[in-house]
Structure 1
């Protein structure tokens, strides 16, 4: 199955979806968004990476920034922060370039490595798009975190690729049916930029209508 271009989802949405399916739905289906310090600082870092689509050579490495990617098989499109094309005899050929190159995606993040796999899945999705576009295999990429100033290598396993495909399938299903998952409050809610729109406390209270009526009755 191949998705039509008009049905493509934002590739970066997989990070929201992995972190919280309700957050993804509020942003991508209900079109809600709120900035907080973390999102603002993250945008600044990405603006530096995506200042304009550009490339440069450093020895045997060709560096491409803000590279547009897509996958008809997964129905997604987006941009890669950085893709390094490293000279390698077992790699692919590039138009207008001599030699062959290995493809190595790098995603930039403002904070530090996380307990969940949202960043890892986003990077893997980028690699899968590049594989489809360039007809190649990409076994590894890296996440660069602003707080640690270091790269974290990521190996793209078959299990990881399967999870990415399944998440995008579910995202397409939610989008098609305009489905907004119910609140599932966690300790991460306080750091979410959408907490004032999502209202996770209503989820803890059970039925939102009963919660509102109860509070109205308690008012003098």
Structure 2
């Protein structure tokens, strides 16, 4: 049986497969302003105790797992509304739809549906930069995307081959810019286009 895929690896893979490989294969990690803000946002989400208020129970840093889908990780926040779990993912930036974030959130829902034997139609992403909460419907297409990305991560970890760099505007905000060297001269595999569109919205 395959090892469960980390929820964070899904987000990294959608953003950039090479970043995912550097983190989860090469165990590289560096901080920049973006990752520091993100870490601080997650620490605030995880701080404090679980609480119940106005009929809603808030669970922080809840361990998540799905044997059916082969996923594992830790939530930021899970709200229980009349016993039904709703995942809430915290992000440091302003409200902006990003497939990488939505895949990560939907993967949390797949875990929670198995753990709570419930159906979860939607979750939320809280954007600390704009103090706005954005609803994300868990459509059939998004659920399928989660499983496709999971399979992509599994292939990456099994093959242990570092993908070519994206070499586009994503690189400017990536903390692994120096480790990746995205714009360094290199030979690409025949037929590979480093500027082709990936899963992530650019």
TM-score normalised by structure 1 residue count: 0.81
Q: 1:140 — aligned with what?
A: 122
Work out whether 1:47 is the aligned partner of 2:43.
Answer: yes
Q: CA deviation at 1:161?
A: 0.4
Work out whether 1:60 is the aligned partner of 2:40.
Answer: no
Contact in 2 for aligned 1:11/1:126 (Cα 8 Å):
yes
Q: 1:86 — aligned with what?
A: 81
Aligned residue runs from structure 1 range 16-165, under 5 A: 16-51=12-47, 54-87=49-82, 101-114=83-96, 116-165=98-147
Q: CA deviation at 1:105?
A: 0.9
Q: CA deviation at 1:23?
A: 0.4
Q: 1:9 to 1:170 in 2, by over 3 A?
A: same
CA deviation digits over 1:37-91, x for unaligned, max 9?
1101111111122236x3111021111111100112232211111111112xxxx
Larger Cα-atom Rg: 1
Work out whether 1:186 is the aligned partner of 2:181.
Answer: no
Q: 1:8 — aligned with what?
A: 4
Q: Residue 177 of structure 2: which of 195, 206, 214 is its match? A: 195
Give the structure with the larger strand fraction: 1
Contact in 2 for aligned 1:143/1:151 (Cα 8 Å):
yes
Flag structure 2 segments of 5+ consecutive residues without an equivalent: 189-202
RMSD, aligned CA: 1.5
Structure 2 CA distance for aligned equivalents of residues 184 and 56 of structure 1: 42
